[in-house]
Amino acid sequence: MKSTVLRDFTFIFLIYAVYFVITLVVAYLQGDIAMEEAWSALSLAVLGVSLLCAVVWYVIGEWIMRPSTSRASWYILWFILLLATLGTALAVVIFEPVPDLNLVYFLGGAGAYYLATMLFSPFHAKYLIWPSIHIRTW
């Protein structure tokens, strides 16, 4: 395994740890939301599915897709995984609504996925997600 892969996975997990902490802080600041409500099984699913999608993006891009794969195929894969993340957030909002945290689930899940894939994509998709070409120097 290349050292860049290990580094990328470490930072992907760090992004999700920050998302977890931010959600806990928002729940705490709301005051009327119990921590059990904020991090129930369904809401943890948003975090888990978003993280899984980021890891799947990296694994498929690094070890399955060829360098000659079209940009359209990369984008289709990326959007399918984003839709899985948003679909999970929507399911949480429908089945277990926490009005003060609904936006956190959507923006946090999709935002963490976006940041993870923009900053730490596989080598052949390194500059695919905007604005990584302007940000990434590693």
- Rounded distance, CA 34 to CA 28, Å? 8
Query: Residues in the chain with pLDDT < 70?
Result: 1-2, 31-41, 133, 136-138
Q: Taking the domains of the chain in order of start, what are their residue ranges? A: 3-135
**DSSP per-residue letters across the chain:** --HHHHHHHHHHHHHHHHHHHHHHHHHHHHSSS-HHHHT-HHHHHHHHHHHHHHHHHHHIIIIIS-TT--HHHHHHHHHHHHHHHHHHHHHHHHHS--TTTHHHHHHHHHHHHHHHHHHS--GGGTTTSTTHHHH---
**pLDDT score of 129:** 84
pLDDT of residue 11: 93
- Report the candidate in 2, 15, 6 with the shortest Cα–Cα distance to residue 119: 15
> Quick check: 102 and 45 in contact, CB under 8 A?
no
Give φ, ψ of 119 to 5 degrees. -85, -30
